[in-house]
Amino acid sequence: MRHVLSAVFLLLPAFAVPSGTPGLPSGAVVVALSAAVVMSAAMWRPSEGRFGLASVVTVVSALSLVLDVAYFGPPGMALLWLPFELLALLVLLGRSVRLLRADRVVPVATVAAVAALALPLRFTLHPDPPKWDASVFGLGCVLLLLPFAIGIGVYLRSLDTRRVTAVAEARGKQRLEVARVLHDFVAHEVTGIVVEVQAAQFARYDEDEARAVFAHVEDAGLRALASMDRTVAALRRPDDASAGETARLYGLADLPDLVDRFARAAPGAKVRCDVKDTALGKLDREGEAVGYAVVLEALTNVRRHVSDVGAVTVVVALVGGTAVQVSIADDGGRGATSAAPRTGGGSGLVALRERIEAMGGTLEAGPRGSGWRVAASLPVPDLTGGRARRLT
């Protein structure tokens, strides 16, 4: 559509200036053509390449300035094109302020503003004697219009900046969410695979035991792939109503299944999961997901850092009606594995602590006896839709 309008503007001088008018000055056609070129440039959307917006605005403004100096004909019909050319120059000025880089916007916008200011003088200074009153009036009108063009350009530029910033922030949050999902779920399963393979290097398995180990490794790998598939599916359909089901969040009700998988991978350990019925349904979706992630991260750290763990206990209970407490404790097993020793509970717990504190809860991780304990206190949302008072 822009290209069609540009072509129409370029053809306007051929129809707007009657060819049969006696004594028609040839300068009128030149003025009409100049206005048509400026209007076409205002409608054109130049690329960022060789003939970008800065080049187009500079050339068109220079053309208008040259005609201001060179035109000595009477106003006549040429004066009819002044409002159109002025409007086009103001549009180019506003687009320059909005779209050009910071190092180009000032010089290019200045050229366009000067061309707009000089345009009325094309028909007032050349007559003998010059029309000073008309010159002052024309300059005053343009001076009133320039702030509007610049202001609109600045306003649209600020909107563009906000939009770019919002998109960048949304993409950053999306990347962090993907990293969190991959860490929470995929890392847990991959850790289980690594532990199984490490144990198989030193153990003597019969055929049935080896088949069971391979089955565990296969199941963990399939679950890791399923987690990645859910994440990718959610990214492909961010606005699809079914994407939420595809990338559903796990909650406290899913903990028994998670702990059961952990127990099958550690057959020599005494693993207990106690999720109180009073704790279910108390948290919102975010709280449920965070509670599940705390247990997942804690069990992953047990796999990474504890050799031959003897006992692991997971307890979820409602405390005082205002918080759900999630605790995971292990006995330390025979000591640390070949992985790095635990110092703060793992980098995943650092991110979880930030999320929980943003919710108004707390997360603690540290030694307890010979083992390790992770405890999270998640606030129960109040009846108004917010969260309970910040826990201490």
What global pTM score does this model have? 0.54
Is residue 11 in a domain? yes
Where in the sequence is the domain holding 360, given as residue range(s)?
A: 252-392
Asked whether residue 96 carries a pLDDT value surpassing 70, the answer given is: yes
Higher pLDDT, 363 or 195: 363
Sheet holding 323-330, edge to edge: 270-275, 311-319, 323-330, 371-379, 362-368
The string of pLDDT tens digits covering residues 112-137 is 999 899 888 877 776 667 778 888 88
> Given 130, 161, 190, which residue is the final one in a domain?
130
DSSP class of 248? P
At 245, the pLDDT band (50, 70, 90 cuts) reads: very low
Rg (CA), the chain: 36
Q: Is residue 159 part of a domain?
A: no
Stretch (H or E) spanning 326: strand 323-330
For residue 357, give the CATH number of its domain.
3.30.565.10
**Predicted confidence (pLDDT) per residue in 18-70, tens digit:** 444 444 445 555 556 666 666 666 666 665 445 588 888 888 888 888 887 77
- Is 282 within a domain? yes
Flag whether 108 is in a domain: yes
Q: Are 108 and 57 in contact (CB under 8 A)?
A: yes
Residue 144 lies in a domain: no
In a domain, 239, yes or no: no
Predicted pLDDT at 387? 54
- Domain boundary among the residues 130, 161, 189 is at 130
Q: State pLDDT tens for residues 263-286.
A: 877 777 889 999 999 999 899 988
User: Is the model's pLDDT at 11 over the cut of 50?
Assistant: no
Identify the domain boundary among 66, 97, 130: 130
Mean pLDDT value across residues 211-230: 77
C-alpha triplet 61, 102, 67: angle, nearest 5°: 5
Question: What is the DSSP code (8-state) at residue 281?
Answer: T
pLDDT for 46? 61
> Residues of the chain with pLDDT > 70: what percent?
70
The proportion of the chain whose per-residue pLDDT surpasses 90, expressed as a percent, equals: 21
pLDDT at position 268 is: 76
Residue-level pLDDT at 9: 45
Per the domain annotation, does 372 fall within a domain? yes
| DSSP states of 142-194 | HHHHHHHHHHHHHHHHHHHHHHHHHHHHHHHHHHHHHHHHIIIIIHHHHHHHH
- Compute the CA torsion angle 337, 338, 341, 342 (nearest 10 deg): -50
Domain count, the chain: 2
Residue 339 has a pLDDT of: 46
Distance CA 154, CA 152 (A): 5
Q: Is residue 72 part of a domain?
A: yes
Question: Taking a C-beta distance cutoff of 8 angstroms, is the pair 315, 365 a contact?
Answer: no
